[in-house]
Amino acid sequence: MNATTWETSPSGCCGGNSGSTSACGCATEATAVEAERPSVNGIPLLAPGQQVGPDELRQRAVAELLRQEAVRLGRLSAMRPPVAPAMGEAEQRAIEALLDEAVTVPEPDEGAMRRYYAAHHRHFVVGQALHVRHILFAVTPGVNVHALAQKAEGVLLELCRQGTPEARFAELARQWSNCPSGAEGGDLGWIGPDDCAPELANELFFQRDAAWGMGVHPRLVHTRFGLHIVQVLGRRAGRTLEFDEVRERIGLQMRQQAQATALRQYLAVLAGQADLRGVDLEGASSPLVQ
């Protein structure tokens, strides 16, 4: 068949001769493309050509998994959409009602709350603060993380070396830090647990060795922003709240943790029964319950 005949012949699936006995590859290619799209029980999570990040993809998969379960239980009308639909008010209410029944959370007893208090007493300190300065080696798209870590480790080793002048930290912060505080020698001033990234707060305030003392922290601190070299210049101890002062707070935290665990288990059961393609729900939680 010459080019002219191809262009003017009666249209089949791709413009070829519909009467031809030759197999047309378009349907096969379309099926292959369709198969590549992430889906839950055959319902695609993305429109053709659409791309989203892994977190949003997991959120969509969880929402669709729950929507389909609500349909199965008769809480929502059955439908076969070409793409997983966005959650409207009716869907939200139906899924919330479904989760209220399916995910049960026991009330923590007095003994459990006291054990929680003893294990997490560092989280119940008020008035604590540290005078901190840091050097941030930011992890940004395209950065060579291995080379960045090697550089950060080299700077940390220099600062931990005996005899290193005190002024050297500020010099290196101005030279290397990707934080605006670098212009001030890395000085963040006095900060409490709520004033910094959760990973940094956990390292400086809540670990067993968080009260390791003054000076340069002996290891790099990893946060969502990158790698930090931290130096503590001053410390305010604060006061540990008594159990009775935080009883309600502990009960709420324990219920939230128990709810998150029960929800993960429920989603794991639904995922195990579903045909999931192109999406991993490991560690996912519902977008409706945070």
Domain count, the chain: 3
With H, G, I as helix, E, B as strand and everything else as coil, classify residue 231. strand
Place of tokens 């008769």: 74
122 within some domain: no
**Which structural domain range is residue 16 located in?**
1-36
Rounded to the nearest angstrom, the gap between the alpha carbon of residue 53 and the centroid of all alpha carbons in its chain is: 11
Neighbours of 285 (CB within 10 A): 16
Query: What pLDDT digit, counting tens, does each position of 26-36 carry?
Result: 444 444 445 57
Amino acid at 66: L
CATH number at residue 181: 3.10.50.40
73 within some domain: yes
pLDDT greater than 90 at residue 287? no
Q: Which H or E run contains 215?
A: strand 215-216
Query: What pLDDT digit, counting tens, does each position of 170-187 carry?
Result: 999 999 999 999 999 999
| pLDDT of res. 48 | 93
Same domain, 68 and 29: no
Q: Can you list the positions of beta strands (E) in 36-166?
A: 39-40, 43-44, 125-126, 129-138
CA atoms within 13 A on the CB side of 223: 19
Lowest mean pLDDT among 1-10, 139-148, 168-177: 1-10
Q: What is the dihedral of CA 82, 87, 90, 96, to 10 degrees?
A: 120
| pLDDT of res. 288 | 45
| pLDDT of res. 280 | 85
Query: What pLDDT digit, counting tens, does each position of 185-203 carry?
Result: 999 999 999 999 999 998 8
Integer angstrom CA distances of residue 27 from 22, 55, 165, 243, 289: 13, 32, 71, 67, 41
Average pLDDT rounded to a whole number, residues 13-27:
43
Query: What pLDDT digit, counting tens, does each position of 213-237 carry?
Result: 789 999 999 999 999 999 999 999 8
